[in-house]
Structure 1
Amino acid sequence: MNMIGTGENDMRHRLRTAVVTTAMVTAALSGCTDGAGRPVAAPPPSASASPSVAEPPSPSASRPATRAEVAGRTRAALSEAVELKPDAPGPAGLMLIDAWPNGEAAYVWETADHRLCSASVAGDLVFRRTCVTRPNDPPVAKHPRISGLFTSFANGWGRVFAADHQEVTSASCGGEPVEVLRIGTTAKGARTLYAVWFPDHTKGEILLTLRRNTTTSRAPFRLGDAGDRSCAATPAR
């Protein structure tokens, strides 16, 4: 009986030793024990150990498009739309009126048979295109003259007009200056194309200041008969 009891005690002693040894090995592998050498449970991984940080937006994705970028894209779209058609541009090509950060642009051009055309483009979409039906219409005047040509709805509301044998140096609406956009020339330089732009439909007249050689003059140009805004042909203050 004493032999059997001694064997049982020895077996229990060895089992306790194995359990303690296993715990110490586990603690050593995890690097965590208390002051008495007893294993301590490892803390859970920190949430900040491997943070997930969203990439900031690319500067090019948030900034407005430049005038050159809008002009390049809209010119390509318009060129494709009119290529190999009767209204395709002649040797002078497309003439840009202006391009805006909202992706819209306006163009005019002269066809190979000397007809004037106009188009408004938004991104890859040509949403308004018109051409006169007869060459050199309206005819180039023998003397200085202002002729209205087209209306554009790109980025607001604009009017395109021609000045024959003279240049436009400035414009005003009710005494306030109005920017005049010089587009280009046709008819071997005898006609210069211009445009004025407003946020929305504008009625009434603007006053143009004109120059021919060394002579300066003024002349009204009628915008239209409808619009919430109205202009009067009075000099800029």
Structure 2
Amino acid sequence: MIFKNDSLDPAAVFTCATSLRDACDQSAKLNNLNLSELFQGVDQFYREAMRIAALFEEWACEHVLFEEMCEVWPYLLEDKFGAACLQRMSVEDLKYFDAEDCPDVAMKLLLPLHYQDASRVPLDVMAINPIPASHFTHWRIQTIRCLSGDDNFEPMAYGDDPFDAEYEPSILALYGVDAEGLVEHIKDFDRYADAVAFAGKLAPGVEFPEEPVVKAQGS
């Protein structure tokens, strides 16, 4: 297989595909599935596994903060990638795996991610309020969303599916946080940079990270 993206790690792609193959084989045995029939031949199944592996590795190269990881990347993928994919969707549905599935699989792998607005991964970042006389001790930017047809917004946490069809597209909310940890909603934004800029107008000198990191709680 020739990769279109030269930055892809062949070892990572191979271990992704191997892990997915093994997970599917195990699932097929447990559920009396015939992979050859599901994918119109074993060769086509292997092509799908390689397609998914290359797609995920390409996504990971743009979104995963490898420098924040302790695990060896190909080894992690070999151990856990296939199971994470089958948590996301059934063996039968793997033919529909696309880029929108990658963030959810990445969070099932507990990967540290670089926040980007387009990826819609959940953000929750705080910064100290540099204004000593303010009621707020901190400022917080957090991803929120609501169910379709509902006006009640709720926080979106690490591990929540960013493209869950039951929800409206997520947005970013700016909050003020007082000394007791109580939050007050200030304003909503579509872009992180806009939220940071507005917080800077309210509290000149506030320092939010330029490139925030999205991590599992406790990691």
| Same structural fold, with TM-score higher than 0.5 when normalized by the shorter chain | no
TM-score by length of 2: 0.24
Rg larger in 1 or in 2? 1
Structure 1 or 2: more helix by fraction: 2
TM-score, normalised relative to structure 1: 0.23
Report 1 or 2 for greater relative contact order, CA contacts < 8 Å, sequence distance ≥ 6: 2
